[in-house]
Amino acid sequence: MESVTIKNTSELFQTLQKRNWDFLSNPVTLSQKRLYTYLKSYPEFIKYFKNVAKIEYHHLIIGANFTYGWMPTILVFKNNHSERIINKLNQLRNEKYTIVENDVQEIREFLNNSVSGTTKLIHFIQPNKYPILDRNIYDLLGNSSSPNAKNYIDFVGNCQKIIKEPSFRGIHKRISGLIHKHFKYDITTCRSLELLIFLGTNQYQTI
């Protein structure tokens, strides 16, 4: 998988800055309305898990289903290992815990065998550390196949390096400012980098 680098994030940022994002306050076209809905819904998903003291079966089912509201496929639970998955999700909430490939694989096997759906759910639970890796972003990074669990672990590590770069602080400030201007909520540096990749291309038109 091609890496995200400070060089190509800077290039994406330059592209993003050239665009007029004022339509976010008054979307007209279908792609604009889709992007508006996508960005408007996001903080509610984060808030849902943030307000939960401990993830239980109920939260897993609700969270998995609203996650699949962002997916083109219908959710199908592939096994009945919900208790094990709940334990993993509660581990992932702890910022001191470091995700490993097996975590992603087990959640993926439960959640429709989708890395994209898995990483969305993981991000909603712990937005400070874990970015979303969907097919659009993976394609942008020069890949023709679907991502697997190892690809996601590599992506997480790569993103963590980028957001620690001093030069990324200014990029994060501008992207978070764009979101706050139109939607009145704050985003993490992790979400900021993921949005940069997403919005810095035409990928959002496929939402």
Unique residue bearing structure tokens 């992790």: 190
Q: What pLDDT sits at residue 203?
A: 56
Is 32 inside a domain boundary? yes
CA distance 124 to 79: 22
**At 167, phi and psi to the nearest 5?**
-70, -15
Instruction: Give the pair of three-digit tokens for residue 155.
Output: 């992506």
Three-class DSSP category at 111: strand
> Cβ distance 41 to 33 under 8 Å?
no
Longest CA pairwise span in the chain (Å)? 48
Is 129 inside a domain boundary? yes
Is 27 inside a domain boundary? yes
The sign one gets for the Cα dihedral 158, 163, 167, 168 is: positive
Three-class DSSP category at 177: helix
Q: What pLDDT sits at residue 81?
A: 87
Say whether pTM exceeds 0.85. yes
Q: What pLDDT sits at residue 72?
A: 77
Instruction: Residue 156: give the domain boundaries.
Output: 6-206
Q: What pLDDT sits at residue 165?
A: 92
Is 1 inside a domain boundary? no
CA distance 53 to 62: 15
Three-class DSSP category at 152: helix
Q: Helices (DSSP H) in the chain: which residue ranges? A: 6-17, 30-50, 57-67, 82-93, 101-110, 115-125, 135-140, 149-163, 168-183, 189-199
Domain count, the chain: 1
Is 166 inside a domain boundary? yes
Instruction: Give the pair of three-digit tokens for residue 43.
Output: 């903080």
Is 56 inside a domain boundary? yes
How confident is the chain (207 residues) per 10-residue block, as mean pLDDT? 69 81 89 91 96 96 93 83 94 94 95 92 96 83 82 93 92 94 95 87 55
Is 31 inside a domain boundary? yes
